[in-house]
Structures are given as structure tokens and as C-alpha cells.
Amino acid sequence: MSAEAHGATLVAEQFDDFEQQKQADTFGMWLFLVTEVLFFGGLFCGYCLYRNVYPEAWAAGSHLLKVTYGAFYTALLICSSLTMALGVRAAMLRLKTSLTVYLILTWIMGAAFVYIKLRYEWYGDFLEGLVPGFNWAPHGENLEMINHFHALLPHVSLFFIFYFCMTGLHALHMVVGVGLLTTLLIFTQQGKNTQGNYNWVEIVGLYWHFVDIVWIFLFPLLYLIGGRYV
Amino acid sequence: MSEDVHVHPKFFYVKVFLALIVLTTITTAVAYVDLGVFNTVVALVIAVCKASLVVLFFMHLKEQAGMTRVVIIAAALWLAVLIAITLSDRFTRHWVPSNGPWESSTMAAPQSE
Amino acid sequence: MSTVAVEVPSLPEVHYLNADYGWRSWLFTTDHKRIAWLYLISITFMFAIGGLSATLMRLNLIEPSGLLFEPATYNKLFTAHGLVMIFFFLTQSIPTVLGNFLIPIMIGARDVAFPKINLLSWYIYILGALIFVISLITGGVDTGWTLYTPLSSTYANTNVLSATTGLFITGFSSILTGLNFMVTIHKMRAPGMTWFRLPLFIWAMYATSVIFVLAMPVIAITLALIALERIWHVGIFDPGLGGDPILFQHLFWFFGHPEVYILILPSMGVISELVAAGCRKRIFGYSFVAFSSVAIAAISFMVWGHHMFLTGQSVYAGLVFSALSFAVAIPSAVKVFNWTATMHKASVSFDAPMLYAIGFIGLFTIGGLTGLFLASMGSDVHLHDTYFVVAHFHYVMVGGAIMGYLGGLHLWWPKMTGKMYPEAWARFACLLIFAGFNLTFGPQFILGYVGMPRRYTVYPAEFQVLNVMSSAGASILALGYLIPLIYFAWSAFKVPAAGPNPWGAKGLEWTVASPPPTHNFEETPIVTEEAYAYEPEAAHVG
């Protein structure tokens, strides 16, 4: 292949050529995503079980979350996936400026996701006394909603545990993603990602899209249960 | 390098993005309509569609070797096994076998005494 | 052989062990062979800890009233023994020592796909092991290795949090190792090394790596949930707060059962290599043995409920699990039949590796068959949580997995070090281990059948004879394990070089020098023959 285009020094010594390295890196990242599916999967399993055992508590808990936040996050992440995919494309075409722009845009959206979630949504939940283990004490309209569904407080608390665990684990992955993007930006500035070796951008892209997919499932499962027609 | 890899035009990705936004809007809107149990079904179907779009087009699965598809299907399948069998345990726990004829004498004993 | 002018083998001038000196060249190495040594030393240290707790347990059980320990302390001992042996010794043993060393060489590669991640795996292991050992020293855990809730999550007042942290961290070491091996086997085979020319050890390691990737993340999240419940007292698994303890068991055993196949599959792969080398014959039914590894890995994920027959699980789910547990025995039996068929009409050499292989076949068969008693719900009602279970899993894990590990160490020791171990001592140690093992765990089948529960520090006086037999066997077993430790170390110094292929075996690893150079091959080999391509006429009495 065009080894000189990739630079012989860009191929690690255990690999025969650039193509093998690229395939190995990509396959490795897909396998890592499989482990992530099973990692989140344990939480999804618990969620499914309790949702079927305490449907009223799940519906009540879901109504205590704000759909506006959920829908906004979903749109934000889909947008960031777009910019990430366009970034990978720019790396393939060796367009350093475009790649930098798309990486920065993705970075901003990822950071905004985490910031808004923690500063506004979670802090708001905390102020309303909806954090089990810290200050679990639903009151006012929230308590009315719970009673409307005839749910028991400990079960709604269980819902909120899963809510915080699943979105928290997801947010943690977003933070890691933002860290990966930072590394990519540094490498791009050094000219490393636009010499035909777009591997790294592609595999960070895979990771980013996966985190987006997790949110695509979390949104309806946490925010839209029991219907919003009540 | 770019001889081996097919690079999509930018608009291709924008189309996928728009489809995802439309699906998100639909799933949010449908939640405000009473469809009973189908609310969940519709929500999950839409979520699977969105995830498929991301996997196929943003993650370039369409252009990948077959092994990658096997890997993804395996992950989904194994998660399904975990959830399905765990739930099947919980929901068949209280299936009590009905009293057949050979049990009726023991069941009737206290009253007849 | 004695009629040909014998060339005295010598060590190559430069090989992976002397290519570089100094602690930095070892602690910052990316050579898979050196990383294998790092693991070998670390897991031997952990084995000593696990073995010590077992020794103390067996000492305690000499007396019906418990010779040495209060129940609270005894609980900590068996928990430590289980957790250390499974998570810090057996899970790593063959994969990270023999797997790391051999996989790249056997497939004709220069190294694994991600050498730096390989080293990272070792550091993660060390970090997790350190945290765990500290949790042991500062008080230990008393929940049993299965960490059942709500004891572990709510009521235990021992070091559950620090122990689960150590376990959580070490789990990632295994995940990365499995990922590394899968990519290596898929992408880095030499030209001509098709899937069906791979040694069966590689097939077994591949299947094991699939289980690593799919099962270990689930235990990771489960441990995190225990920690969550302990810290914030939220009722995920606490029935008083609406939680379901059986959910924990489902999550735990979804990992836990495939985990035990992580422990045995690599050993089965080693046995294929030992039998082929010891009989100088192609393994009978190669593709059946290869596919059986994959089948075991797949079915192993669907049988986990057989650990939960008596804990409140649905009878109907239990039926399904029971049937599938019988099914998973079939591929294992296929392997045993094929190894035996390989030995039929072969000229079998009774060197130590072959002795370990034969021992494995017998002991694993007993362990596997006794598993069927536990897989059928009717008999499990009687046998669950008794010493029958303990005997069953020790037959497969010690009589199976550890025998395979030791056999593999013996077969490949000359390759790893360039030196041969003393054969007479090795055979003696193997027989001692075999005898000690059977004396330790054979009586435990009977103990379980007559009703002695596991994890108990006291027992009725009429069980004392069997318990004393078991403890006596344990001391013989301990001696048997000590002997190889001594002669392996001794062989590094006193013994002449072994040469590249002291066994006359087939396989790419035997075509390189002993010890191999850092990059394994001077030039990438081109594979043209099937695995185990022994000439039928060349077989001779060894």
C-alpha cells in the first residue's frame, strides 16, 4: 500500500503494515464497545426488572423528571454526533482546519451536556429533595404526583437511584469522551491526524457515537415512561 | 489512501442527522398521546431505529467487514439473554402448579375431619 | 537419536531475557514474554495467600468443634481463599502467563496487537491486588466469595467496600487482556495460518477471551452497585426497601458461571497441546475440539441459574437452566473423548507434561460428572451448599485447571527459560499432587452426601474421620506444590540448555530459539502445514 504516504514511523512495530494496524485498532474499539454494552447492561437489567415490578413508581418517577431537559440533551448529542462524523470525514480528507473546527464543536457540545446536566438538572433535583441517600424527601407537587400514581416512596426512590446511576455513568463516559477529544485536538495541532492516519479520530468517533446511542435509549426509558398525557 | 475508503459528502451525514432529529421529535410527541402499552413499544422501536442509523452511518458499519456485525449482534444478544431470563425468573416465580386429582384428598382432609 | 551425532544445545546469544537489563526494562517492557513473567511472579504470590487461607481452614477442620478459629474469623478465611484463588490466581493463571507468552508466537506474530495495553493490564492487576490485600490485612471480608446481598450490601460490618474496589479494578485487567487476545488472534496471524491451522490452545484462548469481554463487565457493574448500596444505603438489593436480592444473584451468576469456564477453557487448550506433544500425534477430531471450545463459551452464558435453584428462583426458570446445564456438559465430553482417542495406538511418553494431562482427563471427568448431580434440581436440593459442591468445583478447578497450568508450565518451561526442569522430580511432584489432591477432595464428596454443609467451622463428630483425611491430603498437596517451585527456580541456574525443541513437538513456538528473541521471529513465518502435522512413522517410544 502507500506506505510512504502514511510514513513508516506511523506503523507500530508489532504490525506488518498500516492497514493491519487500522483494522486492529478499529476492531479493538468495537470490542471495547461490546464490553461497555454489557457494563451498562447490568443497570438496564435491574431497571427492566423493577420497572415491571413497580410500574406505578416508575411512571411517577418519570413524571418528576423534566422532558425538556431530556429532549434537549438528545438533540444536543445527536448534533455532536454529526460534528464528530464530519470530523472523521475531515481527517480522512486530511483537512486539518476542518477537523479542528469539528472537534472543537463536538467538544463544546459534550462539555455543555455535562455542565447543564450537573448545574441545572441534577442540582434542581437536589433542591427538590429527590436524591436518594442524600436528601430523599419529595414534597409539594412532586409528592402529589407520586400519590396520583399510587406509588410507594421507597419504590420511587429506587427509580431515582437507577436514574442517577444510569445518567451518572453516562455523564462519566461523556467526561472521558471530552478528555479523548482534548487529546485528539492536541494531536491534530501537532499535525498527527491529517497525514492519512485518521485511525485515532475514527476510534474516538466510534466511542462518541456509542455514548450517544446509550443516551438514545436512556431518554425514552427514563423520561417518557407512563406517557406524558396524564 | 482515499482510493480505499469511500468518503461520503457532508450532506449525507446531515441527512442522517435530520432523520434522527425527526425521530426524536416523534418519540417525544407520541409520549403525550395515550396509546396504553404501545407507548413503550413505539418508544423502543424508535430508539432502535435511531441507534441503527447512528451505527450504520455515523459509525460506518455499512462499510465494515462482517466480523464487526457479528460483534454487535453478539453484544445485543447477550444483553437480551441477561434481561430476558432474569425477567422470566421473576415473572414465573408465582406460577403455582394447579391442584391435580392426586392432591385433592390431602387438600380436602382438614375440612372433612 | 543416539546414533546421530548429537549437537549439544546452547542458549542463543541474545534472547528476550538478556536483551536488556535493569528494573526499568522489566517494569516498562512491552514484550509479551516479559509481561508473562511479571504475571507469573505476581500470581504465585497471590497463590501463596490463597493457599495459606486454605491451610488454615483445613487445620481448623481437624476438630469437630473447630480447632483454631471463631466462626467470624473462619468466614473471613473461606472468603479470602475463594476471592484470591478465583480473581487473583486462576483467572490470570493460564491466560496471562501461558497465553501472553505463547499466543503471538503460536500464530506467527511479533507481539500482541496492543503491547502497551498489555502492560497496562498488568499494572491494573497489581493495583487491584494491592487494594484487595490491604482490605484482607485490615480485617477481611466475611460474606463468602459470592458476596450475596443483603449481607454484603447492608448488614456485613467487614471490609466489603475496599475488597469490592480491589476486585472491580482487577476486572478491567482481564477485560483488556481478553480484548487484546481477540484482536491479536483475528488480525495478526501469519500468512497461511488459517483458523483451522491454529493450535487448539489458540481456539481455547479465543473462546476464553470472548467470555472475558462479555462477562467481566457485568461483575464490574454489580460490584459497583454493592458499593453504592453500602455507601448510600439505598435499597437496590435490600428487600426492606423494595429491592430484590435475587436480582443480585442473577447479575452475579451471569458473570459467575461463564467465569468458571474462563478458568477451565484455557486449561483444556493446554491439555490439547500436552496430549499432541506427548503422543506425537494429531489431536483426533481437531475441528470438533475447536468448535467445542466455542460452544462451551456460548452455552456457558445460559446456565447461570443452576447456582440459584434453592434461593427462591422460579421452578420453571430452573427447569430451563437445568436442561441447558446438561447441554453444556456435551462439548466438554467431546473434548475428553477426543483426547482419549488421540492417545489410542499412540506411543505415549510419560513425561511430566503428559502425566499432568492424563491426570487432568481423569480428574476433570470426575469433576464434570459430579456437576451433573448438581445440575439436576432434584439431587441439588439435597446437595446444595454441602461439601459435595466444594468437592465438585475443586475437582474441576484444581484437578482440572491447576493441573493444566502446571502441565503447561512444564511443557513450555524450556521454551520460556531455555532450561529443562529435572524430570524425575517433576514426575514425583505430579504423582504427589495427584495423590494429595484426591485424598483432600475425594472424602469431601462423601461428606457432602451425608450432609456436612459448606462454610461451616464446626461439624458433627461422626464426620471427623473424613475431615481429617481431607486435611491430611491437603498437607500432601501443599508439599506437592512446593516441589516445582523449588526445582523451577533451581533450573534457572544449574541446568544445561534445552535447545529449541526438546520434545520434538510441532508448532511455531518450537521453531524459534529457546528462549526466543525479543521479536520472536527473524522473519515472519509462512505456514503451509496443518496443526500437529506429525509424521506417523516418526513416532517413537519416548
Q: State the nearest Cα–Cα gap between B43 and chain C, in angstroms.
A: 25
Query: In this model, does residue C10 exceed pLDDT 90?
Result: no
The residue whose grid cell reads 477442620 is C61
Mean pLDDT score across all residues of chain A: 90
* pLDDT given for residue C142 in this prediction: 94
What is the number of domains present in chain B? 1
Q: Band of the pLDDT at A29, cuts 50, 70, 90?
A: very high
Q: Band of the pLDDT at C538, cuts 50, 70, 90?
A: very low
Q: Is the Cβ pair C216, A157 closer than 8 Å?
A: no
**Contacting residues for A170 by C-beta, under 8 A, at least 6 apart:** A40, A211, A214, A215, A218
* pLDDT given for residue B99 in this prediction: 53
Higher pLDDT pick, C10 / A206: A206
> Does some domain include residue C26?
no
How far is A91 from A97, CA to CA, in rounded Å?
Answer: 10
Q: State the nearest Cα–Cα gap between A97 and chain C, in angstroms.
A: 30
* Residues in chain A within 8 Å Cβ distance of C242: 50, 54, 152, 154-155, 157-158
Q: Is the Cβ pair A46, C110 closer than 8 Å?
A: no
**Contacting residues for B72 by C-beta, under 8 A, at least 6 apart:** A30, A34, B55, B61
Say whether residue A5 is in contact with chain B using an 8 A CB cutoff.
yes
Q: State the nearest Cα–Cα gap between B34 and chain C, in angstroms.
A: 29
Q: Which residue from B14, B54, B91 is facing A209, i.e. has the nearest CB?
A: B54
Print the SS3 string covering C162-227: HHHHHHHHHHHHHHHHHHHHHHHHHHCCCCCCCHHHCCHHHHHHHHHHHHHHHHHHHHHHHHHHHH
**Contacting residues for A192 by C-beta, under 8 A, at least 6 apart:** A200
Range of the domain at B55: 6-62
> Does some domain include residue C311?
yes
| Average pLDDT rounded to a whole number, residues B59-88 | 89
> Does some domain include residue C262?
yes
* pLDDT given for residue B36 in this prediction: 81
Asked if residues A179 and A60 have their Cβ atoms less than 8 Å apart, the reply is no
Nearest to C81 by CA among C43, C45, C55, C63: C55
Q: Band of the pLDDT at C536, cuts 50, 70, 90?
A: low
Asked if residues A39 and C217 have their Cβ atoms less than 8 Å apart, the reply is yes
> Does some domain include residue C339?
yes
How far is A33 from B74, CA to CA, in rounded Å?
Answer: 12
Q: Is the Cβ pair B88, C313 closer than 8 Å?
A: no
Mean pLDDT score across all residues of chain C: 93
> Does some domain include residue C107?
yes
**Contacting residues for A148 by C-beta, under 8 A, at least 6 apart:** A60, A230
Query: In this model, does residue A102 exceed pLDDT 70?
Result: yes
Q: Is the Cβ pair A38, C214 closer than 8 Å?
A: yes
Say whether residue B4 is in contact with chain C using an 8 A CB cutoff.
no
Query: In this model, does residue B104 exceed pLDDT 80?
Result: no
Question: Cis ω on the peptide bond leading into residue C150 (within 30° of 0)?
Answer: yes
Q: Is the Cβ pair B90, C320 closer than 8 Å?
A: no
Q: Is the Cβ pair A40, C221 closer than 8 Å?
A: yes
Say whether residue A98 is in contact with chain B using an 8 A CB cutoff.
no
Query: In this model, does residue A223 exceed pLDDT 70?
Result: yes
* Residues in chain B within 8 Å Cβ distance of C312: 93
Would you say the C-alpha torsion B26, B28, B29, B32 has a positive or negative sign? positive
> Does some domain include residue B10?
yes
Q: What's phi and psi for C386, nearest 5 deg?
A: -110, 180
* pLDDT given for residue B105 in this prediction: 41
Say whether residue C222 is in contact with chain A using an 8 A CB cutoff.
yes
Helices C423-449 and C387-396 pack at an angle, to 10 degrees, of 160
Query: In this model, does residue B4 exceed pLDDT 60?
Result: no
Q: How far is CA C175 from the centre of its chain?
A: 16
> What 8-state DSSP symbol labels residue C524?
-
> Does some domain include residue B98?
no
Say whether residue B93 is in contact with chain C using an 8 A CB cutoff.
yes
Q: Is the Cβ pair A154, C115 closer than 8 Å?
A: no
What is the number of domains present in chain C? 1
C-alpha cell recorded at residue A15: 504490525
Residue C155: count other Cβ atoms within 10 Å of its Cβ.
Answer: 11
The residue whose grid cell reads 490463597 is C50
The mean-pLDDT minimum among A4-18, B74-88, C26-40 falls in A4-18
Say whether residue A206 is in contact with chain C using an 8 A CB cutoff.
no
* pLDDT given for residue B102 in this prediction: 52
Which among A69, A224, A225, A230 is the top mutation candidate for probing chain B, defined by the most B β-carbons within 10 Å of its own β-carbon?
A224
Written as one letter, the residue type at C355 is L
Q: State the nearest Cα–Cα gap between C137 and chain A, in angstroms.
A: 30
| Average pLDDT rounded to a whole number, residues C97-111 | 96
Query: In this model, does residue B106 exceed pLDDT 50?
Result: no
* Residues in chain C within 8 Å Cβ distance of A53: 244
Q: State the nearest Cα–Cα gap between A173 and chain C, in angstroms.
A: 14
Query: In this model, does residue A182 exceed pLDDT 90?
Result: yes
- Domains of chain A (ranges plus CATH)? 20-223 (1.20.120.80)
> Does some domain include residue C15?
no
Q: Is the Cβ pair B78, C214 closer than 8 Å?
A: yes
Asked if residues C64 and C129 have their Cβ atoms less than 8 Å apart, the reply is no
* SS3 of residue C497 by DSSP: strand
* pLDDT given for residue A7 in this prediction: 46
What's the pLDDT tens digit per position in C241-270? Answer: 889 999 999 999 999 999 999 999 999 999
How far is C140 from B68, CA to CA, in rounded Å?
Answer: 43
Which among C184, C228, C234 is the top mutation candidate for probing chain A, defined by the most A β-carbons within 10 Å of its own β-carbon?
C234
* Residues in chain B within 8 Å Cβ distance of A23: 65
> Does some domain include residue B83?
no
Q: Is the Cβ pair B90, C244 closer than 8 Å?
A: yes
C-alpha cell recorded at residue B57: 452511518
Query: In this model, does residue A5 exceed pLDDT 60?
Result: no
What's the pLDDT tens digit per position in C198-251? Answer: 999 999 999 999 999 999 999 999 999 999 999 988 889 988 888 999 999 999
Q: Is the Cβ pair A67, B14 closer than 8 Å?
A: no
* pLDDT given for residue C234 in this prediction: 84
Say whether residue C309 is in contact with chain B using an 8 A CB cutoff.
no
Neighbouring subunits of C (3+ Cβ pairs under 8 A): A, B
Q: Is the Cβ pair A89, B7 closer than 8 Å?
A: yes
> What 8-state DSSP symbol labels residue C300?
G
Which among B8, B12, B18, B20 is the top mutation candidate for probing chain A, defined by the most A β-carbons within 10 Å of its own β-carbon?
B20
C-alpha cell recorded at residue C100: 501472553
Q: Is the Cβ pair B85, C317 closer than 8 Å?
A: yes
Print the SS3 string covering C351-365: CHHHHHHHHHHHHHH
Of all residues in chain C, the one with the smallest CA distance to A17 is C188
Q: State the nearest Cα–Cα gap between A129 and chain B, in angstroms.
A: 26
Say whether residue C241 is in contact with chain A using an 8 A CB cutoff.
yes
The residue whose grid cell reads 499535525 is A191
Range of the domain at C506: 31-538
> Does some domain include residue C72?
yes
Would you say the C-alpha torsion C319, C320, C322, C327 has a positive or negative sign? positive
Residue C483: count other Cβ atoms within 10 Å of its Cβ.
Answer: 16
Query: In this model, does residue B1 exceed pLDDT 70?
Result: no
Q: Is the Cβ pair B86, A82 closer than 8 Å?
A: no
How far is A106 from C98, CA to CA, in rounded Å?
Answer: 43
Say whether residue C246 is in contact with chain A using an 8 A CB cutoff.
no
The CATH number of residue C301's host domain is 1.20.210.10
Nearest to C199 by CA among C103, C267, C265: C103
C-alpha cell recorded at residue C12: 542463543
What's the pLDDT tens digit per position in C127-183? Answer: 999 999 999 999 999 999 999 999 999 999 999 999 999 999 999 999 999 999 999
Higher pLDDT pick, B96 / C25: C25
Of all residues in chain A, the one with the smallest CA distance to C211 is A35
Largest CA distance in chain A: 70
Asked if residues C108 and A14 have their Cβ atoms less than 8 Å apart, the reply is no
Cα B110 to Cα B99, B104, B105, C334: the distances in Å are: 16, 11, 10, 54
Is C377 exposed, middle or buried, given 0-12, 13-18 or 19+ CB atoms closer than 10 A?
A: middle
> What 8-state DSSP symbol labels residue C501?
-
Q: State the nearest Cα–Cα gap between B84 and chain C, in angstroms.
A: 11
